[in-house]
Structure 1
Amino acid sequence: MTPNTDPLEEVRGFMKSRVLLTAAELDVFTAIDEEPLSAERLANRKGVDVRALTRILDCLVTFGHLTKKDGIYSLTDRGSLFSAKHPRTVLPMVLHMNHVWNNWHHLTTTVKEGINNQREPATDSGLESLKAFIGAMHVVGRTLAQEIARSLDLRAYRTLLDIGGGSGTYTVAFLETNPSLRAVLFDLPDVIPMAKERLEQAGMLDRVTLVSGDFYRDELPPGCDLALLSAIIHQNSREENRELYAKIKRALAPGGSLLIRDHIMDPERTWPPAGALFAINMLANTSGGDTYTYREVAEDLESAGFHSIQWIRKGERMDSLVLART
């Protein structure tokens, strides 16, 4: 512990998080982005208690997300990122974190029992929750996807199979970086319209085939020579991953490859630090998910018939890459 460090500072961190989550849930940032407002006017629009909302807004001023002059609140540059109107908005991820918060509430019981029987999966909580989750994955992935796509030489591949590809964040990045590559994006039926919209915006829809399905229940579209599992394996148990790897091997063209992006842990399971914390997130939010060591991933890939397995990128931001061949 460094001198003058308050040992309770980390413990109190949830207070600031809860203020931001509540403000995002009420969408106050978007409302103030549209027009600087007093607490009274904003409370009337939102149908909330004016005194309670004022305390939230004043806290946001102290955080640097709002300014206050003569009782009127305005956004700062920092706060504008929480508005739905900002082109680089983080609001979908914040709304997803609001859902995650509810599952983390039961962490002590989860540690006692080994599973969170009170969890509510984001993808099972209605269409709006699903949209927030898919939007959150785009927010967290849009910059990293471009970085990873630029770091890979994919000239030998013809068709990418993006499994659980969401709204197409990685599909777009890979196609932009590889003009001759085509793609098949596979995800749940309710997600496919979200992918279609984003691919249209990116001008990529003519290079992508959209296929709806559930990779836990359905076989995967056959014939692609490169499959991508981006931020998928952590939500599964090892048994679920072995079943998924076998399904991918059946779908890939002969000589094809599987690329996995995720946290890959060291043998002690303490590096990267973000991966150790994310393992707790999976404990709170899934029935059997975890973050896995390279040895665990390689063993499960080998059991499914993959070979020439390589840890081709080591990173601390869920940006490790493992490549395996059929």
Structure 2
Amino acid sequence: MLKFQEIIDKIDQLEEANILLAALEFRIFTHLGNGGLTASVLARKAKAQAEPMERLLNALAGMGALKKQNKKYFNTSETYKHFCEDSPHYKRGHVMLRKTNRDEWSGLMKVIREGRNFPEFEGEDDPEFRREFTYAMHERSQLYATQISEFVARKPVGYLLDLGGGPGSYSAEILKHEKQARAMLVDRPATLESAREIIAQQKAGNRIEMSEGDIFELDHKQMFDTVLFSNILHIYSTKENKILLKKIHRALKPSGRLILVDLFLEENETSPVDAAFFSLTMLMFTKTGKSYTFSETEKLLTATGFGKFKRSPLSNGSSILECSRK
């Protein structure tokens, strides 16, 4: 049970979040680079006012996001590595998502009061957003790539279909475990443009075929030994997922495996808390998506011709759910 002060402390974390978002917006970590600058110089570089900038920098230093010495401010090793655009380890995707979604939770009350605003989801996909989003998904995949690849590759992989697989990071990692395995990555053109750049740097990249297209138009018959359906389930309604799972069933060879990776909820729908939070995110950013419970998902899979379920937890609310084509 959260106590009064714990609730207040969590609300107050908005203050720290907005300070860090301001640092990203004004590209403070990039302007600082490997050197040290005064508040007035940083303000000129960021096209901002000197006095407010100094207060922001002092707050960042007080939080431990910067260092301050003799009126000059410096990056820490962490802020330079991950948030300076000149760093080879710059997390461009994470930065883009945090900046883009800064108002995400401010719209929560409106969505709860009025429901989803479907017109907001209409229109063409933004190629630049899709490109940066793909890099963000690649960065996030590093948390789970080893666990997922080891789980999948504990059995023969064969010909792998990575459906809506984004950057293809999991496919590339899985193929490292099986030299004869190969994969087909199906996703939108803008996504695959980034995926090609990412996969080109992977050892198994030459065994991954790119196929541009809408996942709802998948039309293969008994072609694949394994299908990876990673973080797609939560985007769609039960009805839409049923369509996709039927197409996956048709694409799999007899006794082929389907591997789902998602933020699955337990039966109480309150844990893991990351999955409960994520269901609200889907409420705000998808037409029909949500976090599904394990039992909801297994019921849906049973109805579309799958069985022999195996659950395997990851971290941060994510899990693997494996099943076989009946």
Q: Give the TM-score of the pair, scaled to structure 2.
A: 0.89
Quick one: which amino acid aligns to residue 168 of structure 2? G
After TM superposition, give the deviation of residue 125 of structure 1 in Å: 6.5
Is 1:322 equivalent to 2:300 in the alignment? no
Aligned counterpart, 2:243: 243
8 A contact 2:134–2:195 mirrored in 1? no
For 1:23 and 1:228, the matched residues in 2 are separated by 37
Q: TM-score, normalised by structure 1?
A: 0.89
Query: In the alignment, which residue of structure 1 is the partner of 2:77?
Result: 77
Partner of 2:310: 311
Structure 1, 109-118 or 298-307: larger mean CA deviation: 109-118
Tell me: CA distance 1:118–1:298, structure 2 relative to 1, closer, same or farther (3 Å).
same
SS at match of 1:165: coil
Q: Are the equivalent residues in 2 in contact too, given 1:106–1:118 (CA < 8 A)?
A: no
In the TM superposition, what is the alpha-carbon distance from 1:120 to its structure 2 partner? 6.2
Letter in 2 for 1:177: H
| Aligned mates of 2:258, 2:17 — CA distance in 1 | 37
Structure 1 residue 245 displacement after superposition: 0.7
Spell out, residue by residue over 1:280-305, the C-alpha distance to the aligned partner (whole angstroms, 9 max, x if none).
11112112111111111012112222
Q: Displacement, 1:182? A: 0.9
1-side partners of 2:215 and 2:292: how far apart?
20
Aligned residue for 2:258, secondary structure, equals strand
Over residues 93-133 of structure 1, what are the superposed CA-to-partner deviations in whole Å (9 max), with x where a residue is unaligned? 13212322323221111112232458569x96733322331
SS of match in other structure, 1:177 = coil
Contact 1:157 1:226 in 2 (8 A): yes
Quote the residue 1:158 is aligned against. Answer: 158
The RMSD of aligned alpha carbons is 2.5
Equivalent residue for 2:174?
174
Q: For 1:102 and 1:2, how far apart are their aligned partners in 2?
A: 25
**Contact kept in structure 2, 1:106 and 1:116, CA below 8 Å:** no
Match of 2:135 in 1: 135
Flag the 1:176–1:128 CA change in 2: closer, same or farther, 3 A: same
Alignment CA distance shift 1:115-1:227 (3 Å): same
Greater CA deviation, 24-33 or 206-215? 24-33
2:273·2:317 contact (CA, 8 Å) conserved in 1? no
Within 1, Cα distance between the matches of 2:155 and 2:3? 53
Matching residue of 2:54: 54
CA distance in 1, matches of 2:171, 2:197: 13
Q: Distance in 2 between matches of 1:230 and 1:69?
A: 46
Q: Is the 8 A contact 1:313 1:321 kept in 2?
A: yes
Instruction: Give the whole-Å Cα distance in 2 for the aligned partners of 1:266 and 1:150.
Output: 24
Q: 1:221: how far off?
A: 5.4
| Structure 1, gaps ≥5 residues long | none
Q: State the shift of 1:31 in Å.
A: 2.3
Residue 232 of structure 2: aligned partner: 232
1:225-277 CA distance string (max 9 Å, x none): 11111111111111111111112122223332210001121111112111111
1:49-128 matches, within 5 Å, as 49-80=49-80, 81-117=82-118, 126-128=126-128
CA distance in 1, matches of 2:304, 2:54: 57
Amino acid at match of 1:211: S
Q: What is the DSSP-based 3-state SS (H/G/I as helix, E as strand, rest coil) of the residue aligned with 1:8?
A: helix
Give, in whole Å, the separation in 1 of the partners of 2:282 and 2:79: 29
By how many angstroms is 1:154 displaced?
Answer: 4.3
Q: Deviations over 1:182-206 (max 9, x none)?
A: 1111111011121111111113331
SS across alignment from 1:284 = helix
Amino acid at match of 1:29: F
- Give the structure 2 partner of residue 292 of structure 1: 292
Name the aligned partner's letter for residue 182 of structure 2. Answer: R
For residue 143 of structure 1, report the CA deviation from its aligned partner: 2.9
- Displacement of 1:90 in angstroms is 3.6
Q: Distance in 1 between matches of 2:218 and 2:289?
A: 21
Q: What is the letter of the counterpart of residue 321 of structure 2?
A: V
Secondary structure at 1:191 match in 2: helix
**In 1, Cα distance between the equivalents of 2:310 and 2:283?**
25
Q: Does 1:195 align with 2:195?
A: yes
Cα distance in 2, alignment partners of residues 159 and 304 from structure 1 = 21
Judge conservation of contact 2:144–2:314 (CA < 8 Å) in 1: no
Q: Which residue type is aligned with residue 11 of structure 2? A: V
Provide the C-alpha distance between the structure 1 equivalents of 2:169 and 2:319, rounded to a whole number of angstroms. Answer: 17
- Which range moves more in the overlay, 235-244 or 21-30? 21-30
Greater shift after overlay, 279-288 or 149-158?
149-158
For residue 55 of structure 1, report the CA deviation from its aligned partner.
2.5
Kindly state the Cα deviation for residue 86 of structure 1 after the two structures are TM-superposed: 3.8
